[in-house]
């Protein structure tokens, strides 16, 4: 069942939700799919480097990035709830066609870049676990994810993602139980900005890459699986409130998992003077320090992170591509399927064709850095427009907060882009 099927019932007056007791639990889910992008393999690499090189001192950047993410994702979810359109559909409807097509095709390019990084993460995990070559592992991840997306409804996918995130979280709880954490020092580091010598590249890689273009498109689409009646102002306002708690809860899970990565790296690698340059290094170094089980669990968690983030990247691509034709995401529809295939297959081809797959990963991050400002400022423009949002448009203060956050994230991504060239 795709979103197109769900939307047939959105305007039916008989669908009135009961907002009481544990009803809010029915709204938990969309935010967790977005959280997967916050704990993808790219974040793993940055967090492990942060903890291994600087101990606890860079935990504050996880807190700051989470706050920025909550605000931006909450705002784009409002677009889906208030208009019944995802970000891609709204762009096609309210932006002049030549500009809309240009922006949405750049978003498709960003989705391909995201899929490339996520597929590589899963492939690296397969290499750690089973000694499968990276390129073969990339094919296996792509085939598995394509089958998952083409044969399951959104609700089933959502349950799988929740299970994957749970496994990742439990894995890090186990890893942390094996090491000694100075919780007092960690608590101070979470709220105290610090800029150790030589740390700016790591800070930029974590803060600058936390807001991903595909997640903004995805959240505005999947939030609509929780809609009931767009004509009832009371229902919409309660949906907006419940969506915030879904986003807040989900992003805090992402905050906890990202923090756990830095805590683990600080307690194991920083304490022993070991540097982590690639994800494979972390697994190899964990084994003699914490035992074989710790290394295996680390690789298993990475595999689930890679697969889960590839699934959401494919969904986002399907939503973006369908939106170009002013259609909602529906995996049974040809445009949604083509969008998914374009993202996954092109990403896989890049991995197959480049001599060094990891250079492909670096270039993919460049593409994201270039495209991100387009998506953020497009989002703020649409959610601040009375023509688009009606009475639910951003207040003036909210609009300027969003523009400032968008500027900060964009600036950090530009710095990251420049630093890659310098290195």
Residue 247 lies in a domain: yes
Please state the rounded mean pLDDT for residues 108-128.
Answer: 92
Long-range contacts formed by 76-79: CB under 8 A, 24+ apart: 76/216, 76/219, 76/220, 76/379, 76/383, 77/30, 77/219, 77/220, 77/223, 77/243, 77/247, 78/240, 78/243, 78/383, 78/389, 78/392, 79/220, 79/379, 79/382, 79/383, 79/388, 79/389
Q: For residue 208, is pLDDT > 50? A: yes
Give the range of the structural domain holding residue 46, as residue numbers without chain letter: 3-7+30-422
Q: For residue 10, is pLDDT > 60? A: no
Residue 22 lies in a domain: no
Element housing 98 (H / E): helix 97-130
Instruction: For residue 268, give Cα distances in angstroms to 54, 86, 138, 172.
Output: 12, 43, 29, 13
Among the ranges given (6-10, 31-35, 83-87, 282-286), the one the predictor scored with the smallest mean pLDDT: 6-10
b/e per residue, 111-149, with b = 16+ CB within 10 A?
bbbbbbbbbbbbbbbbbbbeebebeebbbbbbeebbebb
- Helix (H/G/I), strand (E/B), else coil: 256: helix
Residue 413 lies in a domain: yes
Residue 354 lies in a domain: yes
Structure tokens at 122: 């899963």
Q: How far apart are CA 418 and CA 420, in angstroms?
A: 5
Residue 17 lies in a domain: no
Among the ranges given (90-104, 224-238, 253-267), the one the predictor scored with the smallest mean pLDDT: 224-238
Q: What are the start-end ranges of the H helices in 55-96?
A: 59-83, 87-94
When computed from its CA atoms, the radius of gyration of the chain, rounded to whole angstroms, is 21
Structure tokens at 381: 């423009």
Please state the rounded mean pLDDT for residues 264-287.
Answer: 80
Q: For residue 314, is pLDDT > 80? A: yes
- Supply the pLDDT for residue 243: 82
- Helix (H/G/I), strand (E/B), else coil: 24: helix
State the pLDDT confidence band at 22, using cuts at 50, 70 and 90.
low
State the pLDDT confidence band at 418, using cuts at 50, 70 and 90.
confident
Q: How far apart are CA 173 and CA 180, in angstroms?
A: 12
Positive or negative torsion for Cα 82, 84, 87, 91: negative
Q: How far apart are CA 99 and CA 105, in angstroms?
A: 10
Residue 16 lies in a domain: no
Q: How far apart are CA 99 and CA 89, in angstroms?
A: 13
Please state the rounded mean pLDDT for residues 239-264.
Answer: 89
pLDDT tens, position by position, 329-360: 999 999 999 999 999 999 999 999 877 766 67
- Supply the pLDDT for residue 9: 33
Contact 211, 72 (CB under 8 A): yes
- Supply the pLDDT for residue 24: 56
Instruction: For residue 266, give Cα distances in angstroms to 55, 201, 244, 270, 356.
Output: 4, 18, 32, 5, 29
Residue 304 lies in a domain: yes
pLDDT tens, position by position, 133-158: 999 999 999 999 999 999 988 788 88
Residue with tokens 């800070």: 203
Please state the rounded mean pLDDT for residues 362-372.
Answer: 77
Residue 286 lies in a domain: yes
- Supply the pLDDT for residue 225: 67
More confident: 8 or 42: 42
Residue 101: give its domain's CATH number.
1.20.1740.10
Structure tokens at 166: 């749970």
Number of domains in the chain: 1
**What distance, in Å, lies between the first and last C-alpha atoms of the chain?**
47
Instruction: For residue 45, give Cα distances in angstroms to 8, 144, 257, 404, 411.
Output: 42, 23, 13, 27, 21
Nearest partner of 231 among 15, 60, 61, judged by Cα: 15
How many residues does this entry show for the chain? Answer: 423
Q: For residue 217, is pLDDT > 80? A: yes
Please state the rounded mean pLDDT for residues 294-318.
Answer: 93
């Amino acid at each position: 069942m795709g979103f197109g099927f769900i939307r047939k019932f959105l305007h039916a007056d008989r669908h009135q939700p009961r907002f009481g007791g544990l009803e809010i639990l029915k709204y938990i889910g969309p935010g967790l799919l977005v959280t997967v992008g916050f704990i993808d393999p790219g974040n793993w690499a940055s967090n492990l480097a942060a903890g291994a090189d600087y101990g606890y001192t860079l935990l504050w950047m996880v807190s700051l990035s989470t706050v920025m993410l909550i605000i931006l994702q909450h705002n784009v979810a409002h677009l889906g709830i208030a208009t019944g359109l995802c970000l891609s559909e709204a762009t096609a409807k309210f932006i002049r066609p030549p500009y809309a097509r240009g922006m949405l095709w750049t978003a498709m390019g960003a989705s391909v870049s995201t899929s490339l990084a996520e597929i590589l993460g899963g492939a690296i995990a397969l290499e750690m676990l089973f000694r499968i070559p990276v390129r073969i592992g990339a094919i296996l991840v792509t085939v598995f994810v394509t089958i998952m997306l083409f044969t399951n409804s959104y609700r089933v996918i959502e349950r799988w993602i929740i299970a994957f995130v749970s496994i990742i979280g439990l894995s890090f709880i186990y890893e942390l139980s094996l090491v000694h954490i100075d919780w007092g020092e960690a608590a101070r580091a979470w709220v105290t900005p610090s800029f150790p010598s030589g740390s700016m590249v790591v800070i930029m890689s974590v803060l600058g890459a936390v807001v991903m273009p595909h997640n903004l498109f995805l959240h505005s689409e999947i939030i609509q699986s929780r809609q009931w009646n767009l004509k009832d102002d009371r229902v919409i306002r309660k949906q907006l409130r419940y969506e915030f708690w879904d986003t807040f809860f989900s992003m805090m899970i992402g905050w906890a998992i990202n923090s756990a990565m830095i805590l683990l790296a600080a307690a194991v690698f920083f304490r022993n003077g070991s540097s982590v340059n690639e994800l494979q290094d972390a697994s190899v170094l964990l084994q003699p320090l914490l035992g074989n089980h710790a290394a295996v669990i680390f690789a298993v968690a990475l595999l689930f992170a890679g697969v889960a983030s590839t699934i959401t990247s494919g969904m986002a691509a399907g939503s973006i591509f369908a939106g170009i034709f002013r259609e909602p995401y529906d995996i049974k529809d040809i445009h949604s399927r083509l969008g998914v295939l374009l993202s996954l297959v092109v990403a896989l081809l890049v991995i197959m064709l480049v001599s060094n797959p990891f250079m492909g990963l670096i270039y993919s991050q460049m593409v994201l850095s270039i495209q991100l400002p387009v998506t953020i400022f497009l989002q703020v423009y649409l959610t601040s427009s009375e023509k688009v949002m009606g009475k639910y448009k951003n207040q003036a203060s909210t609009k300027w907060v969003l523009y400032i956050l968008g500027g900060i994230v964009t600036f950090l991504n530009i710095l990251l882009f420049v630093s890659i060239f310098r290195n």
